[in-house]
Chains A and B, each alone.
Chain A
Amino acid sequence: MSNTCYVYAIVPASEVGVPPEGLDGHPVTLEREGTLAAVISALPGEEYEPGNIEARTADIDWLGPRAAAHDRIVTWASDHGPAVPLPMFSLYRGAEGVRAMLRDRRHELARALERAARGREFALRVYRDDDALRAALPDLRPEFAERLRAIEAASPGQRYLLQRKLDRDIADALRDAAREIASDLFERLKGFAVDALREPPPKRAGDPAQVPLALNAYFLVAPERYDAFRAELTALIERFATRGFRFDFTGPWPAYHFVGPHHDGE
């Protein structure tokens, strides 16, 4: 008989709220040990036996609602206080297995909770719109405007070579300008965050219109700084949205990216 326990998150043992329904509508409870508690669902039956999970992971219709339920519980926990999210399918054998984990890992988990207590995370993607950026470029780099005028005045043979060279230089300049602006955006917003990280573009198909990603960043922001952080972002969006950048901003999320041991506070 299976007595699998699914752990969504780790929270302080003092948490007393009533969680919403978990995976498949199963009740969510807290399993406490010392100063820590695991937010869990007991999953009876065979569905979550590891072999069965691996067999189901190719089924997006199976995975999707469960991913949403996992995020719902972690978000509930984060709304109540510090919460360390665990990845989906962190499964233990029975409540005793969960308590043993809380006991054995108490120092590591307590540190992770301290990291999670610093704030919530915001995600920012900034996409390059090369057409708009190209249109803004003569303003940013006046020498391009001059070269364009020189090309118009040149003989047809020269014009072709000059135009090709200009196109190459413009492509480089677009990339450099986007890189500089992305770094500038990141540094400015980081000033309002307790922690921040940049990541390479996420691997996936179907980026809208294949728009190149200039910045993929996460910011851990303390609640008392939310307003200041959003105000700064709004100002930056107003400034750059007309200059070839599109912004995609979400949050506050649970601190999914900032609970690992590499994110000890500055």
Chain B
Amino acid sequence: MANEIGPLDDDDELAFSDLLNRVLDRGLVISGQVIISVADIDLVYVDLQLLVSAMETIVRRNASA
């Protein structure tokens, strides 16, 4: 498996951000809420919206590099 991501051309960049959009932002959200992590709760939920916008910033930076 490729563990590093080289410079992306347009098509790669498109496919990669599509993949990120799918796996971060789609699928069935079981919790439905943001739950702050504490030691004794069952579910830990990372705020996916934050993640998606962080990802967009990175992809943009990558694309203009």
Contacts and interface: CB of A to CB of B under 8 A. Distances in A.
Interface string B43-57: 111111011001111
Contacts of B13: 206
Interface string A172-198: 000000000000000000000000000
Given A65-B2, A87-B26, A91-B44, A202 B18 contact: yes
B20 A50 contact: no
A71 to B, nearest CB: 5
The interface size bin for chain A is 35 or more
Contacts, number: 145
Interface string B1-29: 11111000011011111111111111111
A9 B31 CA distance: 14
Nearest to A25: B1
Contact of A87 (B11, B15, B29, B55): B29
The interface size bin for chain B is 35 or more
A65 to B, nearest CB: 5
Contacts of A54: 46-47, 50
Chain B facing A: main interface SS: helix
A10 B28 contact: yes
Interface in A12-34: 21, 25
Contacts of B33: none
Nearest to B15: A250
Interface in A226-262: 248, 250, 253, 256-257, 259-260
A259 to B, nearest CB: 5
B55 A60 contact: yes
A153 interface: no
Contacts of B29: 86-87, 90, 260
Interface stretch (A93-101, A129-137, A144-152, A156-164): A93-101
24 contacts: A54-B47, A57-B55, A58-B57, A60-B55, A60-B62, A63-B20, A74-B27, A85-B23, A86-B28, A86-B30, A87-B23, A87-B29, A88-B23, A88-B48, A90-B30, A91-B44, A93-B41, A93-B43, A108-B30, A202-B18, A204-B60, A206-B60, A207-B14, A260-B28
Interface of B: 1-5, 10-11, 13-31, 37, 40-48, 50-51, 54-60, 62-64
